[in-house]
Amino acid sequence: MRRTPTAVVVLAGALALAGAAMASVPAPKLAVTSLKQLPTPLPYPYDDSATPAQVDAQIDAAFARARASGKRVVIDLGGNWCSWCRMLSATMALPEAKPFIDQHFEVVDVEVTKVKGKNDRNLQVLKRFHLSKVDGYPWVIVADADGKVLASSYEITDDNHQTPQQMVDWLAKWAKQTPAAQNAANGSNQRVAA
């Protein structure tokens, strides 16, 4: 097939747009470099008194906000009994991380107590996101505002993500440039150029 110059330009433009859509957003650099430096006491982010209906309503509200804002949704499955879950929550609350998280994600913490190796709370959430089994906590689901699951795993605190920076870097690879973030970046670029 012979390509005309116009076809090459159109193809290059389409590839550039696709690359921009796939590019991750850079994570902020954290001052805290180890988990031992996290502020204590660690937070208790999970509401163990929320009913399944309340949890479903929180998730639905997060998706509604994400559709309005262009953000992605993070469903953080875990429990206050889980030290890694609490360390992730403390990391996400760090002064450098929180604005980044708030700018790119709607976050819902869902308590999923484990008893004798089995989940026994908020099983409807596991079913909703097609999880037959959760192998580690925290288990993080990242989804587009339309509900399409982009990531579903415990990787955020696996052996490759054992520092606050590595955890935020993992989230950043799922961040999407929101219109507000793009406007802020454009505004700051314009101010620098002025």
Q: What is the pLDDT of residues 24-73, one digit of tens each?
A: 789 999 999 999 999 999 999 999 899 999 999 999 999 999 999 999 99
Structure confidence at residue 48 (pLDDT) = 87
CA distance linking residue 96 with residue 30, whole number of Å: 6
Q: Is the CB of residue 156 less than 8 Å from the CB of residue 140? A: yes
CA distance linking residue 164 with residue 167, whole number of Å: 5
Quote the pTM value.
0.79
Would you list the domain boundaries of the chain?
39-193
The single-letter code of the amino acid at 53 is A
Residues 85-124 pLDDT 10s: 999 999 999 999 999 999 999 999 999 876 666 667 898 9
Q: Does domain 39-193 have CATH number 3.40.30.10?
A: yes
CA distance linking residue 91 with residue 114, whole number of Å: 23
